[in-house]
Amino acid sequence: MNVHHLELFYYVARHGGISEAVRNIPYGIQQPAVSGQVAQLEEFLGVTLFHRRPFSLTPPGQKLYRFIEPFFAGLDGMAQELQGGSARQLRIGSSDIILRDHLPEVLQAARRKFPTLKFTLRSNFLPQLEAMLKSRDIDLAITLTDKKPPAGFNSVILLQLPLILIVPKESALTRTEELWARDKIEEPLICLPATEIICKNFQQGLSRRGVDWFPRVEINSSDGIEAYVAGGFGIGLSVAVPKAKMSPKVRPLELPGFAPLLVVALWQGKPSPPLRALLDEMQSAARRLQGPS
């Protein structure tokens, strides 16, 4: 018998159906794949293991589940025992601004609950983080997106961040509409790399207004953008992070009508206790950021 097929059947039997199994299998797999591989197991055995609608195990399915359940149900406990009582490492991928400004606090809080927990941190953008999750190279992705979280992952929306422009403190600009009314915007646009979601979102908003204004200075961090704006090199593009302190040499301009970005956490399968604790801490931190100043 194919052991992987047995594992999939275990999750189907345990959670009462294929769709529920997919939501609880601790790695990425789509519903058609589970259905197809369990069907192969039934074909190999020459029996029907469960009725689909409504779900119920057949007598052969009950017999097989009783046989395999002790092994598969005990795997997590054995892993924790071998690891010294709990999972010791979480691999996290995130956008640079979140990795630098917001993760240290929540990681420290999670470590208080799991003192031996270690973290591997990797900085990247959304497409790369999705690929890393699918290939099981990371356990959690925290990133910016301008749309609903991608299908195929468990997700939670942590924050909604409006786009802003950053201008020098002494700039005469008071509203972004003053820029759109010009025949040509002369100031250089300073932003993250053009492939980053912030820039794509901004360019889409400009296109809807019939405005051409493309990046001339690309910086890899929000701090760098503020520094170049403060130095008089142009106008910066960023997001308004609640309670974040901006350089006294610059000030923000709102971008009404531009779609905000979402900060989302993405993972696959059922979260381990340390991952669940980290998700809880991130949601608490997000609520604090959005609360009264």
- If one counts the domains in the chain, the total is 3
Judgement on whether residues 203 and 135 belong to the same structural domain of the protein: no
Q: Is the pLDDT of residue 2 over 50?
A: yes
pTM across the whole model: 0.62
Q: Which CATH number does the domain housing residue 113 bear?
A: 3.40.190.10
Judgement on whether residues 26 and 11 belong to the same structural domain of the protein: yes
Judgement on whether residues 180 and 248 belong to the same structural domain of the protein: yes
Q: What angle do CA 269, 130, 224 make, to 5 degrees?
A: 130
* 152 contacts 28 by C-beta, under 8 angstroms: yes
Judgement on whether residues 156 and 141 belong to the same structural domain of the protein: yes
Judgement on whether residues 98 and 216 belong to the same structural domain of the protein: no
Judgement on whether residues 250 and 173 belong to the same structural domain of the protein: yes
Judgement on whether residues 89 and 100 belong to the same structural domain of the protein: yes
pLDDT band at 129 (very low <50, low <70, confident <90, very high): confident
Domain endpoint, select from 48, 73, 98: 73
**With pLDDT > 70 as the criterion, what percentage of the chain qualifies?**
95
Judgement on whether residues 109 and 239 belong to the same structural domain of the protein: no
Judgement on whether residues 168 and 255 belong to the same structural domain of the protein: yes
DSSP state of 245: P
Judgement on whether residues 134 and 86 belong to the same structural domain of the protein: yes
Q: Which residue has the tokens 């119920």?
A: 56
Domain endpoint, select from 28, 48, 73: 73
Domain range for residue 31? 3-73
Judgement on whether residues 221 and 266 belong to the same structural domain of the protein: no
Q: Which of 4-18, 131-145, 203-217 is predicted with the least confidence, judged by mean pLDDT?
A: 131-145
Mean pLDDT of 245-254: 92
Mean pLDDT of 145-166: 87
* Residue 283, token pair as written in the block: 């949601």
For residue 111, the surrounding DSSP H or E stretch is: helix 103-113
Q: Which CATH number does the domain housing residue 13 bear?
A: 1.10.10.10
Q: Is the pLDDT of residue 80 over 80?
A: no
Judgement on whether residues 94 and 30 belong to the same structural domain of the protein: no
Mean pLDDT of 73-77: 76
* Residue 141, token pair as written in the block: 């992705």
| Interhelix angle 103-113/273-290, nearest 10 degrees | 140
Q: Is the pLDDT of residue 114 over 90?
A: no
Domain endpoint, select from 55, 73, 91: 73
Across the chain, mean pLDDT equals 88
* 71 contacts 86 by C-beta, under 8 angstroms: no
